[in-house]
Amino acid sequence: MKDFFKTVLAVICGILILQLVGFIFLMGFIGSAASSGSKVVLPRSGVLDINLSDYTLAEQSQEMPSSGSLLSGSFAMGRSVGIWDAVQAIEAAAADPAIRYIFLRPDGGEMAGMAALEELRTALQNFRQSGKAVVAYTEMPGNGSYYLATAADKIYMSSYHGATYTLLGLTSQQFFLKDILDKLGVNVQLIRHGKYKSAGEMFVRSGSSADNREQYQSMINSAWKAYSGAISAAREIPEDQFNALVDNLALNFPEDFLKNGLVDELMDREALIQKLCTLAQVSTREELHLVALPDYVTARVNAFPGRTNVAILFADGEIVDGKGPGLAADSFVLEVDALRKDPSVKAVVLRVNSPGGSVMASEKIRSALDLLGSEKPLVASYGDYAASGGYWISSGCSRIFADATTLTGSIGVFSMIPDFSKVAGKLGVGVESVSSNKHSDVLSLMRPFSADELAYMQASVEDIYERFVSLVSTSRGMETTAVDAIAQGRVWAGNDALGIGLVDEIGTLKDAVAYAASQAGLMSPEDYRVVTSPAVPGMLDNLLSLISTAGQEPTVLSGTPMESMERSLKGLLKDNRPTGVFARMPYCMEIR
């Protein structure tokens, strides 16, 4: 028995020692990674390398571990580069004598948002005005990556066969769950205002309504028009000719791209290296110093606050109640108040990348922003989305900048409450409510609404819709009837939103910062520094978050087009908040 206890004690001690050693190793890794990330030594002469297959283009820069690497034990670090940091780095490179030119590898750009690609492309075009070149190399051009490549002076393409090209035009899929919910016995009760407010349609229809189909087709057409127009102008070919190539599947082999003037030369890897060396005026690849964009951001982008600042306030993500990261109302309001009270902050740019969310949370954020705007210049810059609640919180800004491909508007409201009584019956579960009043169990999710209860919920939705329209009417200087005519929950692309008065200008985040600064009397970039808020989670925070979720297994639908349907169904069946009224887009559209 004594030997048994000795053995058990030895095993326990061994486990504790291993855990301690692992923790020390982990902390050492984090420390070394953090310290190495802040010390970047740039060569005396080099080439700025923008390789979108190595990192993600996002709203804010962030360093985080790769989940696959973490599970395998290698602890590799990934990184997202914020669009502001990327643009600032490109601008700095234009004035930096150590940077000879930009080497752009756009493959992987499809993972970035359309608006982010639009802003990066504009920055690359501005870089060329310095007299330095942008050289692009693509192996598998797609819609977004090729659009970005056309900002370059020259586009080189891999001569290897076997790649799959996805330069086929834009598409977005919608999934409809009514039939499967009927089989499960789930009755979804949708209350909404706006014939285009398609949020919830996927739960109550087997296919798209005519109005919803109309708005989606209009958005796709507008976004593709922005892409195809820019591509055609850059490559100096008629737009209808370019669309004919796409429609007729005429871009199947590298030679097709060359023959039709979409690339300048085909080459293998060795020829590419020689070309890059020649452009950099060096003899060997060892002398060719490629400076990765994230490293250049670390070394050159000035993020230190000064006495006079213009702040970029990132409103990124779904608008939710309570506290937390992203657009959790109670926490975000504190960020807004801090900027309002900070005497060094002279103007604020609200950078919106949100499909909306909770009405109550939107109200709280809008109220805090209105107070900020009454004391300091406050302008808005729209990213991929600024719709529904995202438009609610920002329409009061003194000027609104959007990208051509931004999805905005969606001025509408909905509430959605499922009834699981049939599910319970199929499972043989009896449900009996004991209530103090006639309608006490209306939100129990275990019975359908009566006519009176449905009218009660509809009245709440109508009141909030009128509030939304009134806010936009006052903020944008439009008659309520005019707002209602372009509202009804309809989502608009940025170019179209400009024509109907929802935004003031098609412009980048940089344009919005310059305008906000000018409203504060800061006419030159030398007069101020740009600071960002809120702070992004640190590398340790991201690592610990990843560790906490590392044990979650992917499902059979993970990584497939059906994954979004799975998330929607889980949200309805598991995480539904029956008392919520939402100003939100149908879901985050992925246009590919």
Catalytic positions: 197, 388
| C-alpha closest to that of 444 among 570, 578, 582, 580 | 578
- Residue 553 makes CB contacts below 8 A (sequence gap 6+) with none
- 3-state SS assignment for residue 353: strand
- 3-state SS assignment for residue 205: coil
- 3-state SS assignment for residue 108: coil
Contact 82, 56 (CB under 8 A): no
Q: Strand order of the sheet with strand 77-82? A: 56-58, 77-82, 62-65
Measure the CA–CA gap between 200 and 3, rounded to whole angstroms: 65
Contact 87, 111 (CB under 8 A): no
Q: Which two tokens stand for residue 347?
A: 């103007």
Q: What are phi and psi of 327, to 5 degrees?
A: -105, 45
- 3-state SS assignment for residue 533: strand
Contact 44, 287 (CB under 8 A): no
- Whole-number Cα distances in Å, 178 to 187, 565, 569: 9, 12, 11
Measure the CA–CA gap between 97 and 555, rounded to whole angstroms: 51
- 3-state SS assignment for residue 407: strand
CA torsion sign for 254, 256, 262, 264 is positive
Measure the CA–CA gap between 311 and 532, rounded to whole angstroms: 5
- Residue 55 makes CB contacts below 8 A (sequence gap 6+) with 78, 79, 80, 81, 293, 294
Number of Cα atoms under 13 Å in the Cβ half of residue 280: 28
Q: Are strands 99-105 and 154-158 parallel, antiparallel or unpaired?
A: unpaired
Is residue 401 within a helix (H) or strand (E), and if so which, with residue range?
Answer: strand 400-402
The label of the residue with tokens 């060795």 reads 270
> Looking at beta carbons, which pairs linking 430-433 to residues 24 or more positions away fall under 8 Å?
none
- Residue 331 makes CB contacts below 8 A (sequence gap 6+) with 322, 323, 324, 325, 534
